[in-house]
Amino acid sequence: MHILLSNDDGYLAEGLSALANALREHADISVVAPDRNRSAASNSLTLEMPLRAYPSHNGFIKVDGTPTDCVHLAITGLLEKEPDMVFAGINHGSNLGDDVLYSGTVAAATEGRFLGLPAVAISLAGNNPVNFATAAHVAVTLFKQLVENPLPQDTILNVNVPDLPLQAIKGYQATRLGQRHKSEPVIKSEDPRGRTIYWVGPPGGEQDAGNGTDFYAIAEGFVSVTPLQLDLTWYGRINALKAWLPKGRCL
């Protein structure tokens, strides 16, 4: 098995090293990651300028692009051997609920959908998480489970791990995405020349966070595992939309 690793925190991130060290004992790995922090890059691809990839001192390949760029390059010609699976992370902080729409970590996993095997995004909850060994153990456990009991090839797993020692983790829960309140207001400031600038505010607090959600599992000390799909069609609304649309030709 050949696993491609990437992240959005950059090629020097502690979580990426922890993930690589854990998985290389069980499979061949290749690491292609951004050359700097690209958190919240979502699924963006760089199209208006060339991308550059360089080997780094730690054996990883760093790319001056987004997490999606990294995985896209890796599976379309950068690597001599095409990978079988993608693991993205270990993210420094959770990716819960609405976070998946913005997360570069989740985007790196979703880009791996072309490979024909499940892809995994794994995040360690907390503002300044420290228990990367716990998340690495979870990654290895899920990798073994995928090998022994494969899931459908279009499956993307969004995994969040409480920032706790391994012995304090209560187990695994299959969850759905929760939902946050809208983000906090932007922070208005000035640059040194007196021009107005804005900082994006922090994400909103938990809104839909009850039993069964990823928020709830993390709060209760469980590893949250949420299956994601890329088809965003709201099938239950198609017939209602047909009735709502204007009738006849567009004139």
Residue 92 is predicted with a pLDDT of 96
Measured distance CA(147)–CA(211) in Å, rounded: 29
- Cβ atoms of 63 and 73 closer than 8 Å: yes
Residue 77 is predicted with a pLDDT of 87
Measured distance between the N- and C-terminal CA atoms of the chain, rounded to whole angstroms = 57
Q: What is the pTM of this model?
A: 0.90
**Each residue of 170-227: pLDDT tens digit?**
999 999 998 877 777 888 899 899 899 888 877 777 766 789 899 999 999 999 999 9
Which is nearest to 157 in space by CA: 112, 122, 124?
122
- Cβ atoms of 56 and 32 closer than 8 Å: no
- Cβ atoms of 45 and 22 closer than 8 Å: no
Counting residues of the chain whose pLDDT is more than 70, the rounded percentage is 98
Residue 156 is predicted with a pLDDT of 94
Mean pLDDT by 10 residues, the chain (251 residues): 95 96 96 92 88 94 95 92 93 92 94 87 95 97 94 92 97 90 81 89 73 93 94 92 87 68
Residue 186 is predicted with a pLDDT of 84
